Amino acid sequence: MQQLELSFMSSDINLPFPTARLIELWCAEPVFFASRELSDTYYTEGAIGNYALAYALGWARSPYRLMGKDTGRPRYLEDLTPLAKQCYILPAYPVDGELSFRFERFNALSDSYWYAMTNNRVATAREDLPLKRTGKKPSTFRPSNFPQTGRLRVIERGSRFQTLVFGNQELPEYIRVGKFTSKVRVDVMGSLTVTLLSAGEHYCNVYLSAADLPNNLELFSFDLISIPPVSLLKNLRFNGAAWKVGDFTLPANLRFCGGCINE
């Protein structure tokens, strides 16, 4: 009897979530992330990162204004690592591997009566022109910190994604994601039992965040989706302990930001 209890406790340590929910995300509006930038075109990849979803679901909140040493650096460690044993969500992948995109052109130029293109931004008044164009001492402008014209490849309205949610946090009916805080509906498709598989060679059929994998996992092969702030992996073959969640197999002990808490 004592041996059975010890066995159960050992399994429970490696299985913090007995169940997971399969959810579907339906894009009520076009969704845009600046996943890649090529010249004046900004591409959205066909995935929604789990860090973005954690913030969108309200699990983590970042200050509206960063001050002092926090200015200009991400706060993922501070915001997400406290969630280690409370909840987790995988990156969202397109349903049936099918996804539609569309291109949109944007123009953020000034609406003023007069403007001119300078070497690194748009001048909206004649006194803003570089002095060298007026015959005076040469000068330059500080570059603008946002693109002023270009094209966007966005995820089309009506696109559907799926992902797995671990933990008992309440899920809202709608969330806002992306650069334009686009509206996305959250539908719970069902609850799945999580079982622990012994260490060995496994194939993962969901998307994973590269920064969330346990340190002792041996990777054999994978396809890389290079997006900020964390690259995603798909079609991963690995050696190590695994979780079986319905028809899905994934590495055990996934945690935000690399699993900072060791078993």
Highest average pLDDT, of 52-61, 101-110, 253-262, comes from: 52-61
Contact (Cβ atoms closer than 8 angstroms) between residue 156 and residue 142: no
Looking at residue 11, its pLDDT comes to 41
Reduced to 3 states (helix: H, G, I; strand: E, B; else coil), residue 125 is coil
From CA 3, how far away is CA 168, in angstroms rounded? 30
In this prediction, what percent of the chain has a pLDDT beyond 90? 61
Reduced to 3 states (helix: H, G, I; strand: E, B; else coil), residue 159 is coil
Looking at residue 181, its pLDDT comes to 94
In the predicted model, what is the mean pLDDT of residues 5-9? 35
* 127 pLDDT more than 80: no
Virtual CA dihedral for 160, 150, 230, 173, nearest 10 degrees?
Answer: -30
Exposure string over 28-54, b if 16+ CB within 10 A, otherwise e: ebbbbbebeeeeeebbbbbbbbbbbbb
From CA 126, how far away is CA 219, in angstroms rounded? 59
Looking at residue 135, its pLDDT comes to 54
Point out the least confidently predicted range of 35-44, 72-81, 236-245.
72-81
Tell me the CA distances in angstroms from 190 to 10, 48, 235, 245, one per residue in order.
Answer: 28, 20, 24, 12
DSSP 8-class letter at 108 = -
Side-chain half-sphere CA neighbours of 57 within 13 A:
25
Could you list the beta-strand ranges (E) of the chain.
Answer: 19-27, 36-38, 41-43, 88-89, 93-94, 101-107, 116-117, 122-123, 149-155, 160-166, 174-177, 182-204, 208-209, 218-225, 232-245, 248-251
Positive or negative, the CA dihedral 248, 161, 34, 182 is: negative
pLDDT band at 190; cut points 50, 70, 90? very high
- This prediction has a pTM of 0.81
Query: Per residue in 134-178, pLDDT tens?
Result: 555 545 555 555 677 889 999 999 999 999 999 999 999 999 999
In the predicted model, what is the mean pLDDT of residues 234-262? 88
From CA 52, how far away is CA 75, in angstroms rounded? 12
Looking at residue 4, its pLDDT comes to 37
Looking at residue 120, its pLDDT comes to 59
Structure tokens at 5: 């209890």
